[in-house]
Amino acid sequence: MCGIFGIVSKRDKLLGPTLIDAGLRLSYRGYDSVGIATINENGIIDLRKDAGKVTTVAERFNFKEMIGKRGILQLRWATFGEPSMVNSQPHLDSEGLMVGAHNGNVVNNAELREEFIAEGMIVRSTNDGESCVHAVERFIRQGFSMIDAIRKAYDVLKGDYAFVIGKADDDRLYAFKKGSGLVAGIGDEFTVVSSDLPSILPLTRNIVFMNDGEIIELSDQCFTIYSVSTGEVIDRSAEIVEETMEVAQKGGFDHFMLKEIHEQPKVAEELLHLWNNSPSIDVTVEALKNARNIYFVGCGTSFNACVAGAVYFNRLSAKTTIPIAAPQFIAQYNRAIGPEDVGIFVSQSGETKDVLNAVEIARKQGMRIFSLVNVVGSTLTKLSEKWLPLVCGYEISVPATKTFTNQLVAFLYLAYKVAAKDINELNQLPDHMLKTIEEAENQVREILTYVQDWNDLYCLGYGITYPIALEGALKLKEITYAHCEGMLSTEFKHGPLAAVTKDYPIIFSTIREDIPLIISGINEVTCRGARAIVIGPKDERLESNAHHTIRIAEPTPEFASILTIIPLQLLSYYMSVHRGFDPDFPRNLSKTLTVD
C-alpha cells in the first residue's frame, strides 16, 4: 500500500520541505522505505532514497535542500524486492533521463524484468516500480510521444497500480491510473498528483478525481486528461473538496476498521492477480503435495485462518493438514517433525514472537519452512524457504479484518492448486465479497439492538464455519470488551448450554449442507429462551427456526465461509461504536506481538 506524490511548479524552487510534508501525511498508509526525486529547469535529476522512515531518511540525505521545478516522492510498502536502497522508489530509466514511482502491484514484474534486460536496458532492482519506468522507456526508444508511450506501457503492465513519471527534457509530469488510487490538485502556479487526498489538501482544495484507464498531464498551471484506450482528451473540471484531513485519510469512513472491512474485495483481487504470476506458488504447492505431514501454524486471527485452511485442504484436495497454535506446536510436535514435513507459518507482521519461536524449533528439526506474511522483509520472510505475500497493504486498525480474509483466500488458493482445480473460479470471489458488504450493512444494523448490551454471548459454527465462529468471537472480544466464546455448535450442549437465559444471544453461522444440524442447535437453545441469530444462505428452514437471519450467498461452500465473516466483522464494529469504544485501538492490544 505505497504512496506517491508529484508536484510541478512554475520555476525552480525549494521542493524538499513540501515533499517531506507530503510523505509525512501519506505515512498513515504504512511503508518501509522512502525516496524523493527532483528535476530542475536544466533537466538535472536529483534522486535520494533508502529504506527507513521519512524523518530518518530525510535527515540522512538532506531532503530539505532539494530544489527543482518538478518533484516526485514515494513511500514504499514492499511486495516485490525486500526493503533496501536499490529497491526503494523512485526509479530511473536506463540513461537516467526519466524518473518515476508507482503505488500498487505489477504482477508480471518478473517476466518484464527479463524482457527489459534482453532489450539492453539497465535494470537495477527487483522492484516492480522500476518496471513501470522501463515500460515507458521501451516505447520512448521506439519513437513514440510521452502520451502514446504511456498508453502502450499501460497495456504491458499487468495488475493494479497508479504511476507518476517525469522526463528530464520535458517540463511536465505524467500520471496514470489502473486500479489504485490517484487524484490531482490545482494550485496557484503549481499542480500536484497523489495516491490520495491527505497529501494534497493542505496545498489546495481544487481536486481532480481520476478514473481507471486515464492519463493526466500536469504543467505548472493546468492539466489535461487523456483516455488510454483512444488517446482522446477527456473534458473534466476540478472540484472543490471540503473534507477534513482525518476524514480524507479514512476515505470518508468513521474509522479505519470500517474502511478496511470495505477494502477486503480489493485486496483479495490483488492477491489473486499477484499469486497467478508468482513463481513461489509452484514450489510451495509441490512441497505440499509431497509432504509427509503438513502443519499450519499461527496465533490469534492467523490461527483461526489456519483452521479454515485445514478444512479447505480436506474438502478440496483430500489432503490432511494439522492446524496448530504456534506456542502449542513446540509442546505437541517438536520431536515428531522432520525434513519430510512442511510447515506454513502465518503472521500478518512476520514478527510474531510465538510464531518465530515455532519456526526456530522447526528449522532445527529440518522441517521445510513456508510462510504467509503481509510485511515484506520481516523476520519470518527471511527464515522461510519461500514466503507468500498477503498483499493487504498496511492495516492500521488493530483488529485484523482484510488480513484475515486474505489469509483465507490464500489457503483456498493453495488448496485449489494442490487439488488441480481451476484457479480461475476464484476470480469471482471479490465480487461476492463486495456484494456481501453492501447487503450485510443493513441486516447487521437490524439485529444490533438485540446483542449490543449483552456482555456475554456465543458464536457457533460447524465444519467449514467453525473457524469463522472462532474469528467472529475474537473480533467481538477485541473491540466490544464483551465475553464471546467461539465454538463448535455441536459442543454447546456439553456444558455451555447451562448459561442460556431469556433472550441470551447466540450467533450461528452455516452453509447449506449443514442446515439440518444447525437447526438442531438452534432449537436446542431457543426452547430454553435464547435468541438465535443465523448467518447463512437464504433458506426457509433457517427463517422459520431462528429469530433473525443474515443472508449470505453461497456460490460454493468455501466461498460462503469467507463471506460469512463479513457480517461478524460489521457486528463487532457497530457494537463497539455503540458502546463508545474506539474500534481501531482497543485497550491492552497491539498490532504486532513481539514478546512471549
Q: Which residues are catalytically annotated? A: 2, 591
Residue-wise burial string across 435-447, b where 16 or more C-beta atoms lie within 10 A, e elsewhere: ebbebbbebbeeb
Give the position of cell 530525510: 58
Q: How far is CA 169 from the centre of its chain?
A: 37
If one counts every other C-beta atom within 10 angstroms of the C-beta of residue 349, the result is 20
Beta-carbon contacts of 28 under 8 Å, excluding residues fewer than 6 positions away, are: 198, 249, 394, 396
Residue 67: count other Cβ atoms within 10 Å of its Cβ: 15
CB 133 within 8 A of CB 100: yes
For residue 90, say if its preceding peptide bond is cis, omega within 30 degrees of 0.
yes
Q: How many residues does the chain have?
A: 596
In this structure, are residues 448 and 571 in contact, taking their beta carbons and an 8 Å threshold?
yes
Alpha-carbon gap, residue 87 to 128, rounded angstroms: 9
Kindly give, in sequence order, each residue whose CB lies less than 8 Å from that of residue 302, ignoring residues fewer than 6 positions away: 346, 347, 348, 352, 355, 372, 400, 404, 407
Identity at 403, one-letter amino acid code = T
Integer Cα distance of 51 and 72 in angstroms? 17
Cα(110)–Cα(80) distance, integer angstroms: 9
Helix axes 429-448, 557-578, angle to 10 degrees: 40
Cβ-Cβ contacts under 8 Å for 83 (sequence gap 6 or more): 32, 33, 51, 76, 376, 377
Q: How many angstroms separate the CA atoms of 313 and 229, rounded?
A: 42
Q: Which three cell numbers stand for residue 51?
A: 529504506
Measured from the Cβ of residue 379, the count of other Cβ atoms closer than 10 Å reads 19
364 Cβ neighbours under 8 A, 6+ residues apart = none
Q: Is 302 helix (H, G, I), strand (E, B) or coil?
A: helix
Enter the C-alpha cell of residue 315. 474438502
Cα separation, 137 vs 63, whole angstroms: 27
Q: How far apart are CA 378 and CA 73, in angstroms?
A: 24
In 3D space, the residue among 26, 543, 472, 533 whose CA is nearest the CA of residue 245 turns out to be 26
Cβ–Cβ < 8 Å for 50, 57: yes
Q: What angle do CA 140, 209, 2 make, to 5 degrees?
A: 65
391: left (phi over 0), alpha (psi -120 to 50) or beta: left
| Dist. CA 512–CA 492, nearest whole Å | 20
